[in-house]
């Protein structure tokens, strides 16, 4: 069993941020349950003043480093590409009428760790990729702080189209996108899922 005090500190554009959760098991390598462990930050990403001790940050980094890597294959990449193509013109909800691009997901198709955010913002909608704006730069720094690279994880969102004015997605919009997310999780088959924010945490955790 790998346990960690799940808090990390990242300095970004003049402010300090933390990704925090209660101390809890991060991953049980010997667990025969094939479902990934969902790891919800209790406070999300928020500014704070206190620096974490190096020992706490080291504990988190070591925990992530011990998660066994997935075996690399081309099948997952092909399947994810087909899935993205299938939903690229999706119009199941009102968000399809206002988006510029559907933001499917991005990253390593056999990633050990999968990050799930709420939904695309303006930058993501424009570029068609998740977490590419200011929040994306912050997330990349947090991923690097854990001792892993962004290209080695998989990043997606609960909803694939930007809600107008960056409002929270409605339950109906979330419901329309959940079949896509479930298929992404099945294809990537991560060992660990990290939820980013209240919407993905409340959606994925009973």
- Comparison of pLDDT for 75 and 103, the residue scoring more: 103
Helix (DSSP H) and strand (DSSP E) numbers for the chain: 7, 10
The pLDDT assigned to 133 comes to 86
H/E stretch holding 11 reads: strand 7-12
Per-residue pLDDT of 139-178, as tens digits, reads: 998 888 888 899 999 999 999 999 999 999 999 999 999 9
The pLDDT value recorded for residue 48 is 33
- Domain region containing 162: 2-204
Res. 22: pLDDT tops 50: no
Query: In whole angstroms, how far apart are CA 64 and each of 85, 95, 98, 127, 176?
Result: 32, 35, 38, 30, 32
3 state DSSP class of 155: strand
Would you state the structure tokens that stand for residue 128, as one six-digit string? 């068609």
> Which of residues 22 and 90 earns the better pLDDT score?
90
| Dihedral angle sign, alpha carbons of residues 3, 190, 111, 174 | negative
Q: For the chain, what is the domain count?
A: 1
pLDDT of 41: 44
Question: Residues 105-152: pLDDT tens digits?
Answer: 999 999 988 999 999 999 999 999 999 988 899 899 888 888 889 999
What pLDDT is recorded for position 46?
37
Cα dihedral across residues 178, 45, 105, 33: positive or negative: negative
| pLDDT at 65 (0 to 100) | 60
Which CATH number is 23's domain given?
A: 3.40.470.10
Q: Are 107 and 132 in contact (CB under 8 A)?
A: no
User: What residue has token string 């790998």?
Assistant: 2
Cβ neighbours, 10 Å, residue 94: 15
Residue 44 CB neighbours (<10 A): 18
pLDDT category at 8 given cuts 50, 70, 90 is very low
Maximum pairwise Cα distance, the chain: 49
Per-residue pLDDT tens for 26-74? 333 334 445 555 555 443 433 333 334 455 444 555 555 666 665 555 5
Contact 184, 81 (CB under 8 A): no
């Amino acid at each position: 069993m790998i346990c960690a005090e799940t808090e990390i500190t990242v300095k970004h554009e003049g402010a300090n941020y933390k990704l925090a959760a209660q101390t809890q098991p991060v991953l049980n390598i010997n667990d025969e349950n094939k479902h990934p462990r969902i790891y919800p930050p209790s406070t999300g990403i928020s500014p704070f003043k206190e620096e974490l001790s190096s020992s706490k940050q080291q504990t988190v980094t070591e925990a992530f480093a011990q998660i066994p890597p997935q075996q690399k294959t081309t099948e997952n990449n092909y399947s994810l590409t087909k899935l993205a193509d299938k939903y690229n013109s999706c119009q199941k909800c009102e968000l399809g009428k206002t988006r510029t691009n559907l933001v499917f997901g991005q990253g390593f198709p056999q990633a050990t760790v999968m990050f799930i955010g709420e939904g695309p913002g303006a930058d993501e909608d424009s570029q068609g990729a998740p977490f590419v704006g200011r929040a994306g730069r912050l997330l990349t720094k947090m991923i690097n702080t854990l001792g892993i690279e962004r290209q080695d994880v998989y990043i997606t969102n609960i909803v694939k189209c930007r809600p107008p004015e960056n409002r929270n997605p409605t339950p109906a919009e979330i419901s329309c996108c959940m079949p896509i997310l479930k298929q992404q999780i099945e294809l990537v088959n991560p060992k660990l899922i990290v939820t980013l924010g209240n919407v993905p945490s409340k959606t994925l955790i009973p």
